[in-house]
Amino acid sequence: MVDHEAVKEVLRAQRIELPSWAFGNSGTRFKVFAQRGVPRDPFEKVADAAQVHKYTGVAPVIALHIPWDAVEDYRELGRAAADRGVELGTVNANVFQDDDYKLGSVTNPDPAVRRKALDHLFECVDIMDATGSRDLKLWFSDGTNYPGQDSIRARQDRLAEALAAVYERLAPHQRLILEYKLFEPAFYTMDVPDWGTSFAHCLTLGERAKVCVDTGHHAPGTNIEFIVAFLLRVGKLGAFDFNSRFYADDDLIVGAADPFQLFRILFEVRVGGGFDAETGIAFMLDQCHNIEPKIPGQIRSVMNVQEATAKSLLVDTAALEEAQRAGDVLGANGVLMDAYNTDVRPLLAELRAESGLDPDPMAAYARSGYAERIIAERVGGKQAGWGA
């Protein structure tokens, strides 16, 4: 039997972190379609993120990306967030958008470029000191396009050296989160292509170095829930970058392409104790809303994560274990599918009503007039974008 009160308690305690860049303009390398009302600075991004929290109640943290979100005074940005009921979260470093990084950042063959990249990473830690952020998330676009272009092995040495220097610089409460990606922008080798590479570096670094699983960064057909189960078991799952993909790193709304996969991932989180706050997993979104409106896109994303979480919590684990022990293949699978096939929307609507929220966040936001207001107010200035 499933304890519905316990399910609700986990759902109430859930915290989903929003990416600041989801609120800015974005697109593909073919075209960025600007949208009206898009934030012109990090303060406006924080304001938009606060709307997502206002209607969902479970998204009180906004992740920054530096230098996209560079401001004069980070404490002031933190206060602006607090005034709106949200807080600043993970600091994402960006060593992939400077001409100097054509052949890599921390793995570049030129020591002067490596130094420049490392200085940026240190600057990000300084920002964390000011914002009170716990996590530094590192994603490196570093890699090569042609066999023989550079030494695969020497690049690993350079990477290890840079990571050690950053790890050393962290305060005891801060963590280094290392993200991996199979390909793109490099097409032959990536220096951190997969979870195994990230995991191995994190193991060498120490306790506070953990892996980030970006759901869009795998080869098609990869069993992501296996990776999640494995990393959780050994205490090395630091964060998710949730999004969904049909083909490559599509950065579409999480749960849009494959809600069943999202459920399977979150079920492994559940059985691995990952919903306990002490486990310290950052449940982040990493998405772009290229053609859909951004704030509703984020609200929908948060709701999709909530729905998959609720279904994962509805799995009758006692019945599952019993079927597993008995070698009842179809029975065990049936228990899992029963939970997945449950319509959890009424449960979530009830939960929201109990917390004083509108049961339908999408409709409540649409009614609020906020979208019309920012379109009217945000005239002039330069809209935020990812600068690609």
* Residue ranges that bind ligand RM4, judged by CB under 6 A: 21, 65, 92, 139, 179, 181, 214, 241, 249, 286
Is 214 a binding residue for Mn ion by CB under 5 A? The answer is yes
Residue 275 touches which member of ligand RM4, Mn ion, none, C-beta under 5-8 Å by kind? none
* Residues found in the chain: 388
Partner from ligand RM4, Mn ion, none contacting 264, C-beta within 5 to 8 A by type: none
Q: Angle, to 10 degrees, between the axis of helix 370-377 and the axis of helix 361-368? A: 40
Q: Pick the closer one to ligand RM4 by CB: 6 or 388.
A: 388
As measured in angstroms, the least distance from the Cβ of 19 to Mn ion is 8
CB of 363 to Mn ion, least distance (A): 30
When the beta carbons of 22 and 128 are compared against Mn ion, the nearer one is 22
Q: Which of residues 219-248 bind Mn ion (CB under 5 A)?
A: 241
Binding mask 278-307 for Mn ion (x = CB under 5 A): --------x---------------------
Per-residue burial over 167-177, b if 16 or more Cβ lie within 10 Å, else e, is bebbeeebbbb
Contact of residue 92 among ligand RM4, Mn ion, none (CB under 5-8 Å per partner type): ligand RM4
Q: Which does 294 bind (CB under 5 to 8 A by kind): Mn ion, ligand RM4, none?
A: none
- Residue nearest to Mn ion as judged by C-beta position: 241
Is 286 or 307 the residue whose CB approaches ligand RM4 more closely?
286
Q: Decide: helix, strand or coil at residue 385.
A: strand
- Closest C-alpha among 121, 190, 214, 221 to residue 161: 121
DSSP 266-319: HHHHHHTTTTSGGG--EEEE----SSS-HHHHHHHHHHHHHHHHHHHHHS-HHH
Q: How big is the site for Mn ion, counted in residues (CB under 5 A)?
A: 3
Q: List, as one string, the DSSP characters of 165-195.
A: HHHHHS-TT-EEEEE--SSSS-SSEESS-SH
Cβ distance 135 to 174 under 8 Å?
Answer: yes
Measure the CA–CA gap between 243 and 24, rounded to whole angstroms.
16
In the complex with Mn ion, the residue whose CB is nearer, 135 or 214, is: 214
Rule CB under 5 A: which residues touch Mn ion? 214, 241, 286
